[in-house]
Structure 1
Amino acid sequence: MSAGGVDISFAKNNPKIHAILWSGYPGEEGGQAIADIIFGKYNPGGRLPVTWYQADYVDKLPLTSMQLRPDDSNGYPGRTYKFFDGPTVFPFGYGLSYTKFNYTLKAATNRQPIKLTKFQHCRDLPYKNGTFKPSCPAIAIDDLKCPKKFKLAVEVKNVGNRDGDEVVLVYSQPPVGIVGTHIKNLIAFQKVFVAAGTSKTIQFAINTCQGLGIVDSSGNALLPSGAHTIIVGDGVIVFPIQLTYR
């Protein structure tokens, strides 16, 4: 029980400990809920809402540093799953279940062309040397009406012998080479109940600007062109969306 992440590597790495239950601050009925999970009456389907850092993370930056992005000039690492790519005790979105789920991509949008008006102008973005930079790197989201959505359908199959809930997480990654942007960004999720031995297909329709947009180091909300990557779950499904301006 804890308010947030704690370095419990001693327990995670102990071969005699096969599972760890984090209940946060469970409240009045917490004891009953914990007992139901431990004795198998209830099959949990939760996922961690925060990153659990290793203990030495606190020595890598001062508490007065509030930014999420890494500070290379001072050697400070980034914060949260969006900007920190170092080792963790448990990553954001991690979770266990008494059953197992398999994902299958049933349908997806792979191309997203956007026609610009004469009032919408290209914005520049810094790219790493040696990476491809589109002729129109980005458009300010405030200049777009953003009516378009991209879609995907995911089949979730319960291949275990227990009924259970699964939380399907969908992330986006910006085009390769953009300097200073996030590693990935959670853009949608759905919780679905799937009985043992059965499957369900869930649908996502995600606004293009909300799903593929970035915020640059100056605080501008931009929609980059190029090959974005959609990741479902822990990378069990990965596919590109090519966004172009014309």
Structure 2
Amino acid sequence: MIGNYAGVACGYTTPLQGIGRYTRTIHQAGCTDVHCNGNQLFGAAEAAARQADATVLVMGLDQSIEAEFVDRAGLLLPGHQQELVSRVARASRGPTILVLMSGGPIDVTFAKNDPRISAIIWVGYPGQAGGTAIADVIFGTTNPGGKLPMTWYPQNYVTHLPMTDMAMRADPARGYPGRTYRFYRGPVVFPFGLGLSYTTFAHNLAHGPTSVSVPLTSLKATTNSTMLSKAVRVSHADCNALSPLDVHVDVKNTGSMDGTHTLLVFTSPPDGKWAASKQLVGFHKIHIAAGSERRVRITVHVCKHLSVVDRFGIRRIPLGEHKLQIGDLSHQVSLQANLGEIKV
């Protein structure tokens, strides 16, 4: 429950203690520790699941497996944990909830595809009150609103990713898949930014610009080195003269439960040889009562948020249609170079 940047708390609330505040529990350890090197205790865990109305499996990692100076060799659950999850879920009389503790991604494709596992909750290392938080979410006292801060890759991803290669961009010629949601385009277990809620939200664009002229600083900016790639070097754009783009989005809670919603704002450049397919440029977190609606203003700076770094390390603003993706809402903004105000 505690990561390696935490101090020693005066007390901890475990998931068992947290759940025990809501209902009577039957507890059975399936493994002696997180390494789960044997399956001798699995039978008792299966027997407990057959008696329970619902089963909560708390699995994952700890500091003995991932920490500073302790690196994982793979992305799967340690030891026999996967076998334990599958066997207990198959034996469970009621729904099975899988709670995962870890600092990094885990390939739980098997659980994602198992119809007997009703929910997967990633809690990171939740800290001293983690058991209370986990129980409050399971029993609906708290409506979850978190988003994944990283991509969850499949196990075979690491076979194509040497530990000594820190390159971000994909290189198909040598089978290098690239890193992070910005450059990796292969299959994932769960994507960056995923997060579910007990309610639903609808987005509607209230106002947003559709075109922007990018002023240039000098005639030098019109040379082939700047314009041939259909992009403007940021150093040749008059960024101070560009007003921020304000996009106004109405967000409505269309469900029956109050909830906190995080708007993630992604931008995608026009089609072309740009390495990043999209990038996160901002987020806005709001709490919305059931049935209510709130307007959110999102500010996008052209030079900062709509520019990309090309393979030569030069930051450019691609001209053409940029896409803003905000939840299920998509908005196009066209950028053109403005040559009219250049002084000779």
Fold conserved between structures, TM > 0.5? yes
1:21 to 111, 114, 121: 121
AA in 2 matched with 1:13: N
Distance 1:47 1:89 in 2: 14
> Are 2:241 and 1:141 aligned?
no
Higher relative contact order (Cα pairs below 8 Å, separated by 6+ residues): 1
Contact 2:307–2:316 (Cα < 8 Å) also in 1: yes
Structure with more of its chain in helix, by fraction = 2
Normalising to structure 1: TM-score of the pair?
0.90
Determine the C-alpha separation between the residues in 2 that align with 1:180 and 1:93. Answer: 22
TM-score between the two structures when normalised by the length of structure 2: 0.65
Q: Identify the match of residue 224 of structure 1 among 300, 310, 318.
A: 318
Q: Does 1:158 align with 2:276?
A: no
Task: Report how many residues are paired.
Answer: 236
Task: Say if 1:43 and 1:244 are closer, same or farther in 2 by CA, change over 3 A.
Answer: same
Moved more, 34-43 or 45-54: 34-43
Aligned pair partner of 2:294 in 180, 200, 203: 200
Contact 1:60–1:77 (CA under 8 A) maintained in structure 2:
yes
**Alpha-carbon distance in 2 for matches of 1:144, 1:91:** 34
Aligned to 1:209, what secondary structure does the other structure show? helix
Alpha-carbon distance between aligned partners in 1 of 2:278 and 2:315, rounded to the nearest angstrom: 16
1:157·1:198 contact (CA, 8 Å) conserved in 2?
yes
More strand by share: 1
Structure 1 residue 239 and structure 2 residue 339: aligned? no
Distance in structure 1 (CA, Å) of the matches to 2:294 and 2:317: 32
Separation in structure 2 between the aligned mates of residue 200 and residue 123 of structure 1, nearest angstrom: 46
Quick one: which amino acid aligns to residue 173 of structure 1?
Answer: S
Amino acid corresponding to residue 79 of structure 1 in structure 2 = R
Single out whichever of 139-148 and 35-44 deviates more from structure 2. 139-148
Task: Find the aligned partners of 1:72 and 1:21 in 2 and give their Cα distance.
Answer: 34
The alignment partner of 2:181 has SS state of: helix
- Distance 1:19-1:124 versus aligned 2 partners, 3 A rule: farther
- How far apart, CA to CA, are the structure 1 residues paired with 2:139 and 2:217? 61
Indicate conservation of the 8 Å contact 1:180/1:216, yes or no.
yes
Q: Trace 1:171-210 onto structure 2 (pairs within 5 A).
A: 171-177=266-272, 179-210=273-304
Tell me the percent identity. Answer: 42
Shift in alpha-carbon separation, 1:8–1:47, aligned structure 2, 3 A: same
* Aligned counterpart for 2:143 among listed residues 43, 49, 57: 43
What one-letter code is carried by the residue in structure 1 that aligns with 2:335? L
Shift of 1:72: 2.1
Rg: which structure is higher?
Answer: 2
Q: Aligned to 2:251, what secondary structure does the other structure show?
A: strand
Give CA-to-partner distance per residue, 1:55-86, whole Å, 9 cap, x none.
11111221122111001221111211101111
Q: Is the 8 A contact 2:206 2:248 kept in 1?
A: yes
The 8 Å contact of residues 214 and 237 in structure 2, kept in 1 or not, is answered as no
Distance 1:245 1:207 in 2: 16
Q: 1:16 to 1:140 in 2, by over 3 A?
A: same
